[in-house]
Amino acid sequence: MSQTKPQKVKWVKPPKLGLLDQMYVPTVISGMATTVKHMVGTLIGTGTGRGNIQVQSYPEEKPKLPPHYRGVHRLNRDPEGRAKCVACYMCSTACPASCIDIVAAPSPWPDREKYPETFVIDELRCIYCGMCEQACPVDAIELTTIFDLTGLTREEMMFDKEKLLSVFDQTVAAGTDPVRTQPGRLGVASLPAAAGLTGSSSAQS
Amino acid sequence: MDWNALIPLLVTLITIAVILGGVLGGVAYLTLLERKVSAWVQDRYGPNRVGFDFGQSWLSFLRKMWGLGQPLADGAKFLLKEDVIPGHVDKVFFMLAPMIAMGTALFAMAVVSIGDTPAPPALVSVKPTAGQEKVGVNTLAFPATAEEARRLERTGELKSFIDKSDGYKKRWKFAISPGVDIGFLFIFAVGSLAVYGIVLGGWSSNNKYSLLGSLRSSAQMISYEIPMGLSVMGVLILVGSLNLERIVDWQARNGWLGIYQPTAFLLFLTAIFAECNRLPFDLPECEQELVGGYHTEYSSMKFAMFFLGEYTHMITTSFLTVALFLGGWHLPGLESFLGADSYVALAAKLGIFAAKVGGIIMLFMLVRWTILRFKFNQLMSLAWKGMMPLGVLSLLGAMFVGQFGWSPWWLLPWSIFILTLVTALGAFVPGDDPRVQLRIARGRSPSASGVVGGGRRAGAGAV
């Protein structure tokens, strides 16, 4: 690499200051006015919730996250309350962190071949990339806006089917359904009509 | 044994306890205020979680409390943390440095009054000239000759002095050692020692960042002591005394010195910012370049002592500023309203003093978020090219007023005039233009380059 010649160095001249800027004091005073304006605005905001407060008091005020946020998973229920999942292993195949463990069993219902006997996601291992959500042919697995996931043991963070279904109930009750991320047709088990065809089918426990 | 002789000692001890406790408690809560103000300026809430419930459910009504428990938690953290002394340090000086930093800051509180403290009576032996009387110059001196002393006895001045002294003894005094005639000379002497704390801390740490920080700091503190001294000289000439109580008393009678000499006030304010190592002059500990500066190697309580020393310095210098330039406990019209010596008036004066000090401390904190940190060359050019000439000119005005007994109001237009003059002249001083610097470094005349001034010399002709 050739060295830069001194002639090629471009000297950038800083802007010229007027007498008022030279005196420094007026500019400092105008700067102080901005500082005080912010402080007073914030102090008003602290009491009334208005003003220019830019932060949230977290545990009391929950953030309003966008519906496509990728947080804790949920297993969706169909209108009859069963898990939509057809145990096709698409999600666990797509998963780059290999955190989804499914054991399939023959379905007790006529509208699908298999259903997951167990469905466990290791939430500590998950990288929340959302590829399971995209892979799912029946929109059974979705990532919700729940982000404050805590537990005292590693076992606690292994979310089984019941837990994942309860996340569905929780988000439906809270009205924070995630948006559907995958375009196009869904599998037959996801259709309400297909569920209706079966008529009498025992609800998933 | 004369038990009555012990009463002044007891009173002094109680005063020390109260003032020391007050200052240290104030320091603890200043750290909270600092964080709160920082947050407010940045549109945040600041620490608002730690109350006094200590995790106990039966104390739940003390939860939160706007974060008032934060200093307690911080203190507990500092005390319980491991105190690491690295193997490569000079142990004696390493331990000594934070003590000096904290101690010198506290020492200055000895002579600063915190409320209405009467000025000690002056023994007048020299006849004041008519002019000097007008500006209230105190001509105080003890009788120099035996003839003088006889004259004093004859005219009854000695008698009135003794009466005044008795009256003075009975008055309330809100100071640890009232009536110290070397007053702020003592504060300057002790304040200059603070640089030892930083230099020793940096040097004994045996770490290049610490050393750089302490070197910068010593250069900064020594440079800024000169404009500080020059700005205070004007006060000294007008009042004619170093005694802080007399200075406040003069201002109560003749008006605040900060109004007569705004330039000197501004210089003093700038200088104490530098003395306290506060932004925009916090080069000794600038995190971006020097990790932590002189306290890089310090941990736990020893670090906290540096930290608290800085805040204590802020409090003492704020008290000094208020006493020297803002009239101390004086508020126009207060005495006619509440009476001179009632307990209500004394309490009100304590409050006024505290409010003024609080205002200065608030200024410290707001300036921190307004002005950016200076570069080292800017820092030095501000002190030597900007503040020093201003200080000399300001002093010149005070000398004329003091000598010829003019009204101190003449100092106001003079102050504004010199501020404009020096800043305008600043445009013709070669500044930080890199081309100029380069030419100077190569031993060529800067004027030959054709770039004289015009560049941004941040603070070259500024205050």
DSSP code string of A16-71: PP-HHHHT-HHHHHHHHHHHHHHHHHHHHHHHHS-TT-----TTTS-----TT---
**Tokens representing residue B304 in the block:** 């906290």
Look at A53 and B426 and tell me if their CB atoms are within 8 Å.
Answer: no
Pick from B324, B353, B374: which residue ends a domain? B374
Separation between Cα atoms, residue B40 and residue A43, nearest integer Å: 7
Range of the domain at B33: 3-46+81-118+172-374
User: Residue B132: pLDDT above 50?
Assistant: no
**pLDDT (tens digit per residue) in A58-113:** 888 888 888 888 889 999 888 888 888 889 899 999 999 999 999 999 988 888 88
SS (H, E, C) B382-410: HHHHHHHHHHHHHHHHHHHHHHHCCCHHH
- Domain range annotation of chain A: 19-48, 73-198
Q: Residue A16 carries which DSSP code? A: P
Contact with chain B for residue A106, Cβ under 8 A: no
pLDDT average, residue stretch A155-167:
91
Residue B418 lies in a domain: no
Find all residues with CB under 8 Å of B314, minimum gap 6, and list them: B30, B276, B278, B361, B364
Indicate if the pLDDT at residue B36 is higher than 50. Answer: yes
Q: What are phi and psi of B91, to 5 degrees?
A: -60, -45
Structure tokens at B421: 């003059």
User: Looking at the structure, do residues B164 and B176 belong to the same domain, yes or no?
Assistant: no
Domain assignment present for residue B289? The answer is yes
Ramachandran category for residue A185: left, alpha or beta (phi over 0 → left; psi -120 to 50 → alpha): beta
Contact, B93 vs B200, CB < 8 A? Answer: yes
Together in a domain, B185 and B322: yes
C-alpha B86/C-alpha B205 separation (Å) is: 8
Backbone angles phi, psi at A63, to 5 degrees: -70, 150
How much is the ipTM here?
Answer: 0.72
Least reliable range by pLDDT among A48-57, B215-224, B378-387: A48-57
- Could you tell me if B155 and B264 lie in one domain? no
The residue with greater pLDDT, A52 or B320, is B320
Determine the residue among A9, A13, A17 to mutate to test chain B binding: the one whose Cβ has the most chain B Cβ atoms within 10 Å.
A17
Shared-domain flag, residues B289 and B179: yes
**CB of B45 within 8 Å of any CB in chain A?**
yes
Q: A27-36, A65-74, B442-451: which range is least confident on average?
A: B442-451
| Domain count within chain B | 2
Tell whether the torsion through CA atoms of A31, A34, A37 and A39 is positive or negative.
negative
* Mean pLDDT, residues B103-122: 79
What is chain A's length? 205
B348-398 pLDDT, tens digit each? 888 888 899 999 999 988 988 888 888 777 788 788 888 888 899 999 988
Residues B99, B245 within the same domain = yes
Residues B31 and B134 grouped into a single domain = no
- Taking 80 as the threshold, does the pLDDT of residue B177 lie above it? no
Averaged confidence pLDDT in chain B: 78
In percent, the amount of chain A with pLDDT more than 90 equals 22
Q: Three-state SS for A159? A: strand
Q: What would the two tokens of residue A146 be?
A: 């729940």
Tens of pLDDT, residue by residue over B226-273, are 898 899 888 888 888 888 888 888 888 888 888 888 889 999 999 988
Inter-chain contact A11–B434, Cβ cutoff 8 Å?
A: yes
Residues B370 and B306 in one domain: yes
| Band of residue B74 on the pLDDT scale cut at 50, 70, 90 | confident
- What DSSP string runs through B71-116? HHHHHHHHHHS-----TTS-HHHHHHHHHHHHHHHHHGGGT--SS-
Distance CA B461, CA A21 (A): 10
User: Is B416 in the A-facing interface, judged by CB distances under 8 Å?
Assistant: no
The proportion of chain B whose per-residue pLDDT surpasses 70, expressed as a percent, equals 81
Token output for B225: 């002591």
Question: Which chain B residues contact residue A39 at CB under 8 A?
Answer: 37, 40-41, 366
**Measured between beta carbons, which residues in chain B are less than 8 angstroms from residue A13?**
455
> So what's the pLDDT on residue A2?
54
Does B85 fall in a domain?
yes
Contact at 8 Å (CB) between B201 and B277?
A: no
B223 and B266 together in one domain: yes
Tokens (6 digits) for B454? 């015009």
Tell me the shortest Cα–Cα distance from B321 to chain A, in angstroms: 19
Contacts of B413 (CB under 8 A, 6+ apart): none
**Pair (B216, B317) in one structural domain:** yes
Q: At what angle do helices B300-325 and B91-107 cross, to 10 degrees?
A: 30
User: Are residues B157 and B220 part of one domain?
Assistant: no
Q: Does B404 touch chain A (CB under 8 A)?
A: no
At residue B461 the predicted structure's pLDDT band, cuts being 50, 70 and 90, is very low
Whether residue B180 is contained in a domain is answered as yes
Architecture in CATH for domain A73-198: 2-Layer Sandwich (3.30)
Per-residue pLDDT of B137-161, as tens digits, reads: 444 445 556 666 677 677 776 677 6
Q: State the number of CA atoms in the 13 A half-sphere of B442 facing the CB.
A: 10
Mean pLDDT to the nearest integer, B289-312: 82
